[in-house]
Amino acid sequence: MEAKEISDLVYEVNSHLEKPELQRALKIESSVRSYLSDYLKGRGFIEVPPVIISVLTDPLNHPVYDPTIDYYGYKYSITKSMIFHKHILTKHFGKIFTFSPNIRLEEEDKAETGRHLSEFTQLDLEIRDATREDVMSLGEEMIVELFSKIKKTHSDDLKFFGRDLRIPKKPFERIRYKDAEKEYGGDFESILSKEKKEPFWIIDIPLEKREFYDREDPQRPGILVDMDLVYPEGFGEALSGGEREYKLDRIIERIHKKRQTEEQFKWYIEFAKDGLYPSAGFGIGIERLTRYICGLSRIEDVHPFPKVPGKLSL
């Protein structure tokens, strides 16, 4: 990482915070948060506070720097996602959501994507006894309503960005992971994202491409009952989620298939022994959503203190 004088950093932060683009984007993001929150509360969801450190967090399916904090003899991680907490909560609450700050200390190859911040917020939600179908239609309706409201209330800001925000038609297109890969090769997500004019779903993701907690289709071994939503116009991944494994034997088998250890997830396993419910949910990145709404090429332009992998930031 390049060395930087403190005075340079102060200058950089101040010039960033002064930018009209950032100020407008933050105004929009502030509305995005309240509209989404109102939308979910209006549908019976309870907002829960975020978990920042825990003995249990998402293993993710890609490498990140992974520090732990030793505290009273236990190893705590900084939350990478609240996936397990969401699932455990559905034992006692039917529908929950949280604006969850996630820390993923990405490696430097993610610095130039324009889509990665090491610290970001996802709106993470989970519903007990729901199916993938249920959460996909919820996601579609939520996005359509959000975009319509933003168009009405932020027309000046969208005009400033020169953004003609299109309201997508429901249901969004669905493409099976394996079909997309066959037709476009390994880079299908970015190819399709550039080609499409409206958000679309990638469904039925192969088991090895995702974490152990997404449910394997009992009728189609190796295929998960999960999904990603991808933004059009080259903006890439928006959301990911799916149905969850909830039976103890399935959870243990899936942990082993990933070559992870029961020790690593012992707390979650204890909850599974106690009994978990079937559930489904998803998480949508707030900064990526704001970036898409504003039509900006770089994610740091929607965050006051952006943590771009490999770069010093406040």
Least Cβ distance, residue 121 to ligand ASN (angstroms): 11
- Half-sphere exposure for 92 (CA within 13 Å, toward CB): 7
- 58 is a contact residue toward ligand ASN (CB under 6 A): yes
Least Cβ distance, residue 283 to ligand ASN (angstroms): 2
CA 291 to each of CA 45, 159, 234, 286: distance values in angstroms, whole numbers, following the listed order = 26, 15, 12, 9
Query: What 3-state class would DSSP assign to 283?
Result: strand
How many residues touch ligand ASN (CB under 6 A)?
11
- 232 is a contact residue toward ligand ASN (CB under 6 A): no
Q: Which residues ranging from 104 to 123 are in contact with ligand ASN (CB under 6 A)?
A: 122
Both ends of the chain: CA-CA distance in Å? 15
Q: Which residues ranging from 127 to 156 are in contact with ligand ASN (CB under 6 A)?
A: none
**Residues forming a β-bridge with 223:** 206
Stretch that binds ligand ASN, among 18-26, 91-99, 153-161, 238-246 (CB under 6 A): 238-246
Least Cβ distance, residue 124 to ligand ASN (angstroms): 5
Binding mask 184-223 for ligand ASN (x = CB under 6 A): ----------------------------------------
Provide the residue count of the chain. Answer: 314
When the beta carbons of 81 and 290 are compared against ligand ASN, the nearer one is: 81
Stretch that binds ligand ASN, among 20-28, 47-55, 278-286, 302-310 (CB under 6 A): 278-286
- 177 is a contact residue toward ligand ASN (CB under 6 A): no
- 59 is a contact residue toward ligand ASN (CB under 6 A): no
Q: By CB under 6 A, name the one of 114, 168, 199, 281 that touches ligand ASN.
A: 281
Q: Are 116 and 313 in contact (CB under 8 A)?
A: no
Q: By CB under 6 A, name the one of 139, 283, 306, 309 that touches ligand ASN.
A: 283
CA 124 to each of CA 36, 49, 82, 193, 239: distance values in angstroms, whole numbers, following the listed order = 11, 11, 7, 23, 10
Buried b / exposed e across 202-217, counting CB within 10 Å, b at 16+? bbbbebeebbbbbbbe
Closest C-alpha among 198, 50, 180, 170 to residue 120: 50
> What kind and span of H or E run contains 202?
strand 200-203
Least Cβ distance, residue 243 to ligand ASN (angstroms): 10
Least Cβ distance, residue 160 to ligand ASN (angstroms): 31
CA 270 to each of CA 88, 99, 159, 175, 263: distance values in angstroms, whole numbers, following the listed order = 11, 26, 53, 36, 11
**Residues forming a β-bridge with 244:** 214
d(CA 39, CA 250): 34
Least Cβ distance, residue 237 to ligand ASN (angstroms): 11
When the beta carbons of 8 and 66 are compared against ligand ASN, the nearer one is: 66
Q: By CB under 6 A, name the one of 232, 241, 306, 309 that touches ligand ASN.
A: 241
Q: How many helices (H) and strands (E) does the chain have?
A: 10, 11
Q: Applying CB under 6 A, which residues contact ligand ASN? A: 58, 81, 83, 122, 124, 240-242, 281-283
